[in-house]
Each structure stands twice: as structure tokens, then as C-alpha cells.
């Protein structure tokens, strides 16, 4: 979090690339990062010294090209492990990775989390994480990263507000830390998603990327040059609670006409139920099956349902329009489970977008839809935990 020394910044860039791209030879690293071979050599020497990087042992030749064979560097996978967690409304997603970032195990648990008391919630989470660590025999667990919905203060480890929680200002990181005895990093889930997606698409790591995640809610992760934009306190914003229609449907935040109230799964599901004249839905968060059924009906031509998606598309278009006019991003990514109905949303989405932005402005941003599973959330938060650890390791050694 503190400003990085030039050395630390270079170190981070190097390790970031290596994590993303896998084993690389020193020359390749130099080319990719625009550093001289001398600098790479110097930097990697200390990283190998510290045991963070390992040199490829295989004497295997490069094959067709002549010349001295490349010696590739890769992450040591024996320095410990990290657990990544995502918490939904009634689901906990877990992932164990080793220090090289490789997936070692994953699990998900169905467990209602909504409106638990603060202490109870943390007990449940801590127990789930501890059990996962026990069962997977997590070798030398170094840290836990947790992605969740809501306004998350990453620096202080506090969740100021979340649709999952009754409580406000929950000191989640310290609470879990006390229970688990490990450092805990928390992050807004849309931010974690944005980060993970940008790791996989190089073009998203340059310029400004706004990543709109549509699913249980609507979140926004914003990246500048591949780094998460941090506002005054929180990271990703609960962009879904921007109010777009003054007298729109009810939102779970208590307001009316929020973006979420049109686009989120719970909203679509609720409205679909109402259309069918069924009683008000008891399931607050519909399952994937229920959503698929609604989408299928709409695709088949059910007029009222199709209209629901038309309206949702329009709101999505307005939302993206606001993003374009405010942040002027180079890239806009629409991701999350909500993209399953993108074909239904698209016509009204595009019309709404076009009607409120001038072409010159719209042309600046590439808009892409990225299918992204909830896996990416744990991946994103685990990546961030790992790179914090990279830094800590160096700082510990320096002290």
C-alpha cells in the first residue's frame, strides 16, 4: 500500500509477468518489460537467492535454434500457499494455490450467509476456511484473500456496507485474522474480477479499463494501467446502486430505480415471477437453473419476459454510457453471470448507448463481453494476495 521504491516496482513488474506468462528466460523478460539484460540479471539474481524464483534444471536444448539455450525462470511452489475465498449470498467459494500461483484445490459450500450476525458470519467463514485448509493439508498457509460484495475498505480490512450483511463497518479482515492466525486481505468482488480478467487479456492492462460485473448485483472494477483504481476509501464501487430511474423497481439497497433493480439476477427473477402472477418469490437469490429457465422463455418469445430484458438492456446501455462519459475508458468489459442473456439485452443496450453518447466518445472504448465464471473471483483475490506477499518477503528481508 505504501509507495514503492523503484526497486520494489521493478521487482513487482518482473514477478507479475512471470506469474502471468509462466516460465520465461531472462532475455524474454527483458524484452517484455523493456529492461536491459544487465538489469534483469541483477534483479533475478537476488530473487533466486531468496528462493522465490527457481532456474529450470532441464538440460534440454531449445531445439531448432542454435546458440546458448535459454534457462527459464519460474516461481518456487514450495514457499507456502494462499487460500482465496469468495462469499456470495448462500455460497462460499474456496481455492488453494501454491506460492507459484498454481491451483491446488478448490471447493464450494452452500451455506446461507445473508443477515447473519457479524460474529456468527465470521465464525462460519473462518470455520469453512479452516476446514478447507485442514482437508487440503494446505502446506504452510501464508495468507487468505477474500472477495465479497459491498463497499470494502481494503487498506483497513473493513466492510463498510454490504448487501449480504446486516451490520455496517464490519472489521472482517481483523476478525478472520484473529480466528485463523493468518494475514487476511479483503477486496470488493468486482475489483477482484476486473483484476483477474485483466491478467488474462493483455490489452486490458494498458489504458483505462472499466469492468462491469453483472450477476447477484452490479459491481464496477476500474483499472488504470492494469492497477486497480482506488477511490478515497473503497476499491470497486457498488455501481449498481446508481439510481437511473426515479420511480423504478425496488432495489435491495432500499432505494428505487437503481441499476441493479433492473439488471441483477434477483431483480429479473422477482419481476419474472410477478409477470407469471406467481406469489412473491421466497428465494431471494435464484439459482442458475431458475435464471436459465427465465432466459429460455424470453428467447422463445414470451413477450412480457422479453420486455423485461429489453428494459434491462436499456439500463445497461445507460450505465455504460455514464461510464464512458465519466471515466472515458479505453476498454469496457461486461462480465459475470448476467452476460448469459447478452443476446436479449443487446438491441436495447446498443440503442440506449448510442442515444446518449456522441460517436467520437463511444469510439474510444472497445466494449467486450467476457464470459467469466465465479472462479475468476477467487483467482483475482488470490493473485492480489500473492503479490502483496512478494513485497512483504522483500521488505522482511530488508528489515
Partner DNA sequence: CTTATTTGTTCATCTAGCGAATAAAACACC
Partner DNA sequence: GGTGTTTTATTCGCTAGATGAACAAATAAG
Residue 184 DSSP SS3: strand
Contact between 391 and DNA per CB under 7 A: no
What is each CA distance from 241 to 121, 247, 263, 271, in whole angstroms?
A: 24, 14, 11, 18
Contact between 220 and its own copies per CB under 8 A: yes
Single out the residue of 56, 95, 97 nearest to residue 78, CA to CA: 97
Contact between 391 and its own copies per CB under 8 A: no
Which of 330, 343, 350, 375 forms a contact with its own copies (CB under 8 A)? 330
Single out the residue of 83, 171, 163 nearest to residue 119, CA to CA: 171
CA distance 174 to 149: 18
Per the document, the length of the chain is 399
Contact between 142 and DNA per CB under 7 A: no
Contact between 15 and DNA per CB under 7 A: no
Which of 5, 31, 55, 325 forms a contact with its own copies (CB under 8 A)? 325
Single out the residue of 134, 145, 196 nearest to residue 173, CA to CA: 145
Contact between 188 and its own copies per CB under 8 A: no
The entry of its own copies, DNA, none near residue 65 (CB within 5 to 8 angstroms by kind) is: DNA
CA distance 193 to 219: 10
The entry of DNA, its own copies, none near residue 365 (CB within 5 to 8 angstroms by kind) is: its own copies
Residues 52-81 that bind DNA (CB under 7 A): 59, 61, 64-72
Residues 135-174 that bind its own copies (CB under 8 A): 151, 160-161, 168-169
Burial of 20 (0-12, 13-18, 19+ CB in 10 A): middle
CA distance 109 to 125: 10
How is residue 138 annotated by DSSP? Answer: -
Which of 2, 3, 36, 246 forms a contact with DNA (CB under 7 A)? 36
Least distance to its own copies from the beta carbon of 395, Å? 21
Contact residues for DNA, defined by CB under 7 A: 5-7, 9-10, 25-28, 34-45, 59, 61, 64-72
Contact residues for its own copies, defined by CB under 8 A: 151, 160-161, 168-169, 207-208, 220, 231-234, 237-239, 241-246, 253, 255, 258, 318, 321-323, 325-330, 355-358, 360-361, 364-365
Amino acid at each position: 500500500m505504501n509507495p514503492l521504491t523503484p526497486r520494489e516496482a521493478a521487482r513487482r513488474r518482473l514477478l507479475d509477468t512471470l506469474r502471468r506468462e509462466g516460465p520465461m528466460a531472462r532475455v524474454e523478460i527483458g524484452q517484455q518489460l523493456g529492461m536491459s539484460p544487465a538489469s534483469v540479471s541483477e534483479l533475478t539474481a537476488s530473487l533466486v537467492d531468496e528462493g522465490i524464483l527457481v532456474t529450470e534444471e532441464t538440460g534440454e536444448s531449445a531445439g531448432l535454434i542454435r546458440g546458448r539455450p535459454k534457462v527459464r525462470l519460474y516461481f518456487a511452489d514450495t514457499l507456502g500457499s494462499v487460500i482465496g475465498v469468495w462469499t456470495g449470498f448462500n455460497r462460499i467459494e474456496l481455492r488453494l494455490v501454491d506460492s507459484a500461483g498454481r491451483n491446488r484445490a478448490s471447493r464450494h459450500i452452500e451455506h446461507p450467509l445473508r443477515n447473519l450476525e457479524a460474529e456468527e458470519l465470521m465464525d462460519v467463514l473462518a470455520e469453512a476456511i479452516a476446514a478447507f485448509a485442514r482437508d487440503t493439508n494446505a502446506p504452510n498457509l501464508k495468507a487468505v484473500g477474500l472477495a465479497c460484495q459491498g463497499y470494502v475498505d481494503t487498506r483497513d480490512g473493513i466492510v463498510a456496507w454490504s448487501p449480504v450483511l446486516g451490520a455496517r463497518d464490519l472489521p472482517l479482515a481483523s476478525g478472520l485474522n484473529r480466528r485463523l492466525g493468518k494475514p487476511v486481505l479483503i477486496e470488493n468482488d468486482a475489483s477482484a474480477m476486473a483484476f483477474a480478467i485483466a491478467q488474462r487479456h493483455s490489452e486490458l492492462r494498458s489504458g483505462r479499463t472499466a469492468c462491469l460485473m453483472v450477476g447477484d448485483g452490479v459491481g464496477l472494477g476500474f483499472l488504470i494501467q492494469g492497477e486497480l483504481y482506488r477511490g478515497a476509501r473503497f476499491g470497486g464501487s457498488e455501481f449498481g446502486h446508481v439510481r437511473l430511474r426515479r420511480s423504478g423497481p425496488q432495489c435491495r439497497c432500499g432505494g428505487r430505480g437503481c441499476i441493479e433493480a433492473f439488471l441483477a439476477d434477483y431483480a429479473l427473477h422477482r419481476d419474472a415471477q410477478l409477470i407469471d402472477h406467481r406469489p412473491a418469490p421466497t428465494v431471494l437469490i435464484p439459482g442458475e437453473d431458475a435464471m436459465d429457465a427465465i432466459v429460455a422463455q424470453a428467447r422463445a418469445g414470451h413477450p412480457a419476459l422479453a420486455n423485461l430484458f429489453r428494459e434491462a438492456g436499456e439500463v445497461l446501455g445507460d450505465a455504460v454510457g455514464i461510464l464512458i462519459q465519466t471515466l472515458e475508458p479505453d476498454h469496457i468489459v461486461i462480465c459475470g453471470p448476467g452476460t448469459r442473456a447478452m443476446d436479449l439485452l443487446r438491441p436495447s443496450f446498443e440503442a440506449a448507448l448510442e442515444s446518449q453518447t456522441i460517436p467520437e466518445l463511444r469510439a474510444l472504448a472497445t466494449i467486450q463481453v467476457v464470459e467469466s465464471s465465479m472462479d475468476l473471483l477467487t483467482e483475482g483475490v488470490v493473485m492480489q494476495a500473492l503479490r502483496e506477499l512478494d513485497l512483504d518477503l522483500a521488505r522482511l528481508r530488508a528489515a
